Amino acid sequence: MIETTLLGILSIVLIDLVLSGDNAVVIGMAVRDLPGQLRKQAILVGTLGAIGLRVTFTILAALLLEVPYLRAAGGFLLFWIAAKLIRGDEEEARVGSAASFWQAVTLIIVADFTLSLDNILAVAGAANGHLGLLTFGLFVSIPILMLGSAAIASLLNRWPWLNWVGALIIVWAGAQLIGHDPTVKLWLAWPLWVWFAIGTALMLALRGYMRYAGRSL
């Protein structure tokens, strides 16, 4: 019994960490302009909120992932998030206000859950229906995810061109969600690179619109 429990915890932690690379990129980009202490707080609050949502929806995993076009909707949402994160520092004051803090937290929660749609069933399977095991395993992964996000945020501040790399990683994650959506595949069985190209074009268009709208205000 103890061996089974430990194996379940280890499986959940490994699954969550292996599949959390994209999540760490999003978190790092969302908090990159926050000052040190506020950055740590945003990562903590956002990650805790995201984990809470992940636990909640893992309970409903089978039903959730059968919803038509859910993965596709999440993919297009990621294109918007990528555009928002890369829209250009010249249009934004350096982040530091309470509004910006909560904006970062909101982006972390929304993006983390969206990126986790395909992970939910894997984690639920490893937990084997044990809610306590699921919750514990996910919370064990929090410190490592937070450290990874903080490191990425520092790199993005040091080398700003990496923001574009991060945005393209997010777009690729969105393309995978759309391309793997069962309902979409019935109508458009396009290769992932096509969805990636579409996502990149949409991200650039949205970024241009956000910059134009920002100057118009």
Sign of CA dihedral 42, 45, 51, 57: negative
Buried b (16+ CB within 10 A) or exposed e, 8-24: bbebbbebbbeebebbb
Q: Cα(11)–Cα(7) distance, rounded to whole angstroms?
A: 6
- pLDDT mean across residues, the chain: 75
DSSP string across 188-205: ----HHHHHHHHHHHHHH
CA distances from 181 to 38, 44, 70, 188, 195 (A): 37, 31, 7, 10, 12
Q: State residue 99 phi and psi, 5-degree precision.
A: -60, -40
Determine the pLDDT at residue 193.
95
Nearest to 117 by CA among 160, 72, 82, 52: 72
In this predicted model, what pLDDT tens digit does every residue of 28-74 receive, in sequence order? 888 887 887 888 888 888 888 877 777 777 666 656 656 788 888 88
| Confidence (pTM) | 0.70
Q: Give the pLDDT confidence of 62-117 residue by residue, as tens digits.
A: 566 567 888 888 889 889 888 888 765 444 434 333 447 888 888 888 877 777 66
CA 31 to chain centre: 13
What pLDDT, on a 0 to 100 scale, did the predictor assign at position 159? 85
pLDDT tens readout for residues 111-154: 777 776 666 655 655 665 566 666 666 666 667 667 777 788 78
Euclidean distance between CA atoms 17 and 132, whole angstroms:
19
pLDDT tens profile 151-193? 887 887 788 888 888 888 889 888 988 998 888 988 888 999 9
Residue 195: its pLDDT value, please?
A: 95
What pLDDT does residue 117 have? Answer: 64
In angstroms, the CA 121 to CA 180 distance is 14
DSSP assignment string, 71-83: HHHHHHHHHHHHH
Cα separation, 117 vs 50, in Å, equals: 12
- Residue-level pLDDT at 122: 58
Question: Which of 31, 51, 40 lies closest to 146 in space, CA to CA?
Answer: 40
Residues 36 and 58: their CA atoms lie apart, in Å, by 33
Identity at 205, one-letter amino acid code: A
